[in-house]
Structure 1
Amino acid sequence: MSLTNKILLGMVLGVLVGVMLNLLLGLDETQTTATTTYGQWIQVVVINGVLDAIGQIFVASLKLLVVPLVFVSLVCGAASLGGHSRMGALATKTVLLYLLTTALAIALAIGIALIVEPGAGVDMAVASNFTTPTAPSVKDTFINIFPSNPIQAMAEGNMLQVIVFSILFGVAISRTSGEIGKSMATFFAHLNEVVLKMVMLLMQLAPYGVFCLLVKLFSSLGFGAILDLAKYFFTVLFVLLLHAFGVYGALLTLVTQLNPVVFFKKMWKVVVFAFSTASSNATLPITLRTVEHDLGVDNKIASFSVPLGATINMDGTAIMQGVATVFIAQAYNIDIGIAGYLMVILTATLASVGTAGVPGVGLVTLAMVLQSVGLPVEGIALIIGVDRFLDMVRTAVNVTGDAAVSVIVGNSEKMLDRTRYENMTLNAETDPV
């Protein structure tokens, strides 16, 4: 059995075992602790102890590689492109494509939410205390892109600052003449191979990590929370799937004339990882390898666009924010008008640039979006119950968008191996995933 099939099996078994434990222990949004002594032992020792520990080790092992992978791969890419006359155009094209897909995502979300009206008839009495997170201003967001201490940025996992430093370092290598520049470029190319080998070694933990993460989640996730907000939940879910398959599929077909079915088949293992971890950054190692190895995007493009996308491309988060804004406005009977929804599109698109690729951060930027149009941030308390599961789905959409933009940019720059893209036969020795 291939590693991908093992991961899928782990995901299915994790959901099934988690649901069975949830029903066995009688847990929901009101009853979070098992009533029997035996049930409490299972919950404390097995679920919150052993399974949670293994799941957290799996996520930590993935995050372990994020900073070195981003730094080394971006240095390699920038060193290769540093003397390239197209580097500026390539970077501009990549960023604009990410912003365009994000704007399309939130516009689509608002449009469908206005038709469905998920907040109509909601009882506002369920909105309880919610501590408003402090959202950075647009000015601070852009200032914080540039690092004053690159070592500190790496230690804190500030990916925007790591990206900026990596690109500058790579460009400096490309502009260094003689043997020094060549030897440094060769060193980082070899280091990149070592880091990717580490990725493949840690991927062997994936089936067990995915199983444990999903058992932990579904054993504590009461389906009553989903039923209470079914209209909102399924509206967000529908728009997420529509954007992933409809918008990305259409862009690939129209812009590159490539078969989107091949793209989605090859991205399946990445989607499983993203769904399980709910973190674009934790999924980054497997996303980068899939984009390069399976989809045929040149390393010069992939090493720039994929880490950047994991940081600024938050289409799934933007969709949640669009539907949530309409939901909260309708729940509070506040009409923000066309101008208000246009402001939501602008604010959410810009906010995605400073959104970290970690679980739950979308609620922070949602507070910023709500404040921009005068909606009460306390309304976020209405959707917290179902946000954890939706966070997993929208992360899968985010990483799909990272790969789609990488393919489009690679194709436009003549740096896409179309034969490799269309080849569905993978060599198990070179790609065990």
Structure 2
Amino acid sequence: MSPQQKMLLGIGTGAAAGLAANALAAGAPWLTWVIDHITFPVGQIFLRLLFMLVIPMLFSALVMGISELDLRHLGRLGARSFGYTIVISTVAVLIGLGLVNFIRPGAGLPESLRAMAQGSVVEAAAAPADTSPVALIIAMFPDNPIKAAASGDMLAVIVFSLFFGVGLSLARTPATAHLRESIQGLYDVVTRLLDAVIALAPIGVAALLFTMTSRMGVAILVQLSAYVGTVLLGLGLHMFGVYSLSVRFFGGMSPIAFFRGSRTAILTAFSTSSSSATLPTALRVAEEDLGLPPHVSRFVLTAGAAMNQNGTALFEGVTVLFLAQLYGVDLALGQQAIVMVICVLGGIGTAGMPGGSLPVVAMILGMFGIPPEGLGLILGVDRFLDMCRTTLNVTGDLAAAVYVSRGEPHDPGDHDGQGGAGGAGGEGATAGQGITEGLAGEGV
């Protein structure tokens, strides 16, 4: 069986068995024993394996993503690409958070059922006590990165990793070359382990879904449908609203012409669920159908396949707030701001493979005391949402390339000062390809 078929089997088995147990034997002693001694422990072990990989995955992915870019020679090309990524990803998360607060897909669950949904034994990291803007900015810069990692302070870990990556990029010595290889090796090991954990997902998801549906019955499926609708609405608004405005006003291109020229890459992204697999098609589309300068499109698209993940950022924000509503955890505006920052920065460090965003989402849930077993519900519909957010990620890369290309010559040597940017684009493409090469799927 293919991985997708195994996942569907796990989803169907866990949900169907849980709903049947709830309908036929709700409250029975034997059902309580099965939940407490079999399905609940199996689901918790699966979640703990995801938690175990989150810090090394984020650190190695962020460091490699930044260090592979030659910051000394990127110039305007790199600055415009990175600035665009941060701004548009922030807009994506804001759209997602706004929709969740307006639609409230996780609200409305009866208190009796919500209490039954509790029970995670995964230790939650302490949420920041002071969520004021000044305190949040100060807390982003750790005085002890090891302590930050141990306490689950994700913002501090992300910022330290970014700084480390910048330093590794600037210090080009034989010793740092070996260090870069070691961190790349750590990234390879973590992604391989994550692949192994995701291979266990059918069992873990079946256990999580059985535990939840046997306790809560069919009511939870109503909330899940509202969640899927919210994610799809957010992705649609960002793709056809934000990207249309971006290519029109920032890139000087007609949105109709942009989407018409990008349709081959969009269809490839939806069918493969992989930015890496779509990269060759996206490069051809950018140069032949959209007419973008090759040195710009190669740099922006290759780096974007690993770092410019608007769909991932939006998905993570919606998922965290949905589960917070589902479990009755009230997140203040300051706490939602923290979620937004982590989702924006975490999108850069998410492994580009099936389930790569799960450790990030699980860690954010732990930060705010939200039971992470709710991820079992998300995994049940994640395959379809994966295809949709991958489409948004690839389209976002092409939109970024349109913006960065505006004012750039097709030949980087056409006028003074452009040769460096073109050279950096070539280096960035080669380095970025090394990061994205061989990744099995988006999953982020």
Distance 1:246-1:161 versus aligned 2 partners, 3 A rule = same
Q: Determine the structure 2 residue equivalent to 1:34.
A: 30
Shift in Å, 1:295? 6.5
Q: Equivalents in 2 of 1:150, 1:193: separation in Å?
A: 20
Give the gaps of 5 or more residues in structure 2.
Answer: 119-125, 248-257, 284-299, 347-359, 406-424, 427-436
Please say if 1:353 is aligned against 2:353: no
**Secondary structure at the counterpart of residue 320 of structure 1:** helix
Shift in Å, 1:75? 4.2
Q: Equivalents in 2 of 1:358, 1:117: separation in Å?
A: 16
Q: Determine the structure 1 residue equivalent to 2:271.
A: 265
Query: Which residues of 2 match residues 204-283 of structure 1 at below 5 A?
Result: 205-206=196-197, 208-222=199-213, 225=216, 227-228=218-219, 232-245=223-236, 247-248=238-239, 255=247, 257=259, 258-259=262-263, 260-267=266-273
> Percent identity, aligned pairs only?
15
Moved more, 97-106 or 347-356: 347-356
TM-score by length of 2: 0.58
Q: Cα deviations across residues 291-322 of structure 1 (Å, max 9, x unaligned)?
A: 8789676554455545x997898442477399
TM-score by length of 1: 0.59
**Secondary structure at the counterpart of residue 100 of structure 1:** helix
Distance 1:237-1:100 versus aligned 2 partners, 3 A rule = same
The count of aligned residue pairs is 353
Query: Which residues of 2 match residues 3-402 of structure 1 at below 5 A?
Result: 6-22=2-18, 25-26=21-22, 31=27, 34-35=30-31, 40=33, 43=35, 46-48=38-40, 51-52=42-43, 55-56=46-47, 58-59=49-50, 62-63=53-54, 65-77=56-68, 79-86=69-76, 87-109=78-100, 136=129, 137-138=131-132, 139-176=134-171, 181-183=172-174, 186-187=177-178, 190-191=181-182, 193-199=184-190, 201-202=192-193, 205-206=196-197, 208-222=199-213, 225=216, 227-228=218-219, 232-245=223-236, 247-248=238-239, 255=247, 257=259, 258-259=262-263, 260-267=266-273, 300-302=303-305, 304-305=307-308, 314-317=316-319, 320=322, 348=336, 351-354=339-342, 357-359=360-362, 361=364, 391-392=378-379, 400=390
**Secondary structure at the counterpart of residue 5 of structure 2:** helix
Q: Equivalents in 2 of 1:57, 1:99: separation in Å?
A: 29
Write the letter of the residue equivalent to 1:262: T
Q: Cα deviations across residues 316-340 of structure 1 (Å, max 9, x unaligned)?
A: 247739988xx999xxxxxxxxxxx
Q: Determine the structure 1 residue equivalent to 2:288.
A: none
**Secondary structure at the counterpart of residue 70 of structure 2:** helix
Q: Cα deviations across residues 93-119 of structure 1 (Å, max 9, x unaligned)?
A: 222212211222344445556xx9985
Shift in Å, 1:13? 1.5
Q: Equivalents in 2 of 1:219, 1:322: separation in Å?
A: 20
Q: Determine the structure 2 residue equivalent to 1:341.
A: none
Give the gaps of 5 or more residues in structure 1.
Answer: 269-286, 330-343, 368-379, 417-428
RMSD of aligned Cα (Å): 5.3
Distance 1:206-1:322 versus aligned 2 partners, 3 A rule = closer
Distance 1:211-1:58 versus aligned 2 partners, 3 A rule = farther
